[in-house]
Amino acid sequence: MQLVCLGDSLTQGYGIELKEAWCNKLRSSAEIAVYNAGISGDTTAGMLARFTHDVISRKPTHVFIMGGTNDVYLKVRTADTLANIYAMVHQAKFHGIDFIIGVPTRAYSDQAEVDAYREALVHFCNEHEYKYIDMASNLVREDFLEDGVHPSVSGHNKMYDTVHSQLIKFMKI
């Protein structure tokens, strides 16, 4: 099994040593092969544009798609953000790649806008019966860097625990 984690700074591990990022911790768990395709500052449009190179060309069995927070900050319409995620899901399906949607963490700055997006994404996943993991499920304000947006090492540790426990269920590892 191989998993590509496609996302933005929440996947890459902005603001901490990259070895501490949840995705890289998942790689070191050695249960499955994991590739971190997180790029800080990326939007869902950017993720869609690099989907062929970063996901399809690697021929993974699974892809974890998490993005949209930067779209919120750039005032991209939620419908357009969800359309980008929908397009990535359909590319994954076409290429026989199982997918899981990541619901991004809450932001303690601009919280209302990010929370509205998170709610729309969960509704979208439920409506389409997509598997998803809520990355904020165990996080509190103290698990974030001073900017209130990016998780600290403790936040990434909790995100790893959340993803790891859910992947065991979703990927049957």
Over residues 68-117, the pLDDT tens digits come to: 999 999 999 999 999 999 999 999 999 999 999 999 998 776 678 999 99
Rg over CA atoms, the chain: 15
Residue 169 confidence (pLDDT) above 90? no
21 neighbors 12 (Cβ within 8 angstroms): yes
- pTM for the model stands at 0.94
Query: 32-80 pLDDT, tens per residue?
Result: 899 999 999 999 999 999 999 999 999 999 999 999 999 999 999 999 9
C-alpha–C-alpha distance, residues 165 and 22, integer Å: 12
Q: What is the pLDDT of residue 8?
A: 97
Confidence of residue 150 (pLDDT cuts 50, 70, 90): very high
Per-residue pLDDT, averaged over 109-127, amounts to 91
Q: What is the pLDDT of residue 168?
A: 79
Q: What is the pLDDT of residue 172?
A: 73
Per-residue pLDDT, averaged over 157-161, amounts to 95
Q: What is the pLDDT of residue 30?
A: 63
Short-list 43, 24, 154, CA closest to 104: 43
Q: What is the pLDDT of residue 109?
A: 67
C-alpha–C-alpha distance, residues 29 and 128, integer Å: 31
Per-residue pLDDT, averaged over 13-42, amounts to 91
Packed helices 78-94 and 111-128: angle between N→C axes, nearest 10 degrees: 40
